Amino acid sequence: MGYPLAGIKVLDMSRVLAGPFAGRMLCDLGADVVKLEPPEGDITRIWGRKIAGISGYFNQQNAGKRDISVDLAQSRGVELVKQLVAAADVLIENFRPDVMGRLGLDYATLQAVNPRLIMLSISGFGANNPDSRRAAYAPIVHAETGLVERQAEISSAFPADMASSIADTNASLHGLVGLLAALYARQQSGRGEHIDLAMVDATMVTNDGMNYALEALRRPLPNEVHETAAGHLMLAGDFRFIWHQLHNVCGVQDGLQEDAPLEEKIAARRKAAHHFFNVVCASRDAVITALDKMNIAWGDVRRAGDVSEIAAVQARESIAEVDDRAGGVRRIPQSPYRFAHGQAAVQGGAPHLGEHNVQVLDSWLGMSAEEAAQWRDVLVSNVPDPD
Nearest-5° angle of CA 205, CA 186, CA 200? Answer: 20
Radius of gyration (C-alpha) of the chain in whole angstroms: 26
CA 86 to chain CA centroid, Å, is: 28
**With the C-alpha atoms ordered 324, 328, 334, 339, is the resulting torsion angle positive or negative?**
positive
The Cα-based distances of 101 to 109, 119, 132, 296, 373 in angstroms read 9, 13, 14, 53, 28
Is residue 181 within 8 A of residue 122, CB to CB? The reply is no
Question: What three-state secondary structure class fits 48?
Answer: coil
Where in the sequence numbering do the catalytic residues fall? 168
Is residue 305 within 8 A of residue 332, CB to CB? The reply is no
H helix runs in the chain, sequence order: 18-28, 56-62, 75-87, 99-102, 107-113, 138-144, 147-155, 166-189, 199-206, 210-214, 239-250, 262-275, 284-293, 311-316, 357-365, 369-373
In angstroms, rounded to a whole number, what is the distance separating the alpha carbons of residues 197 and 163?
A: 23
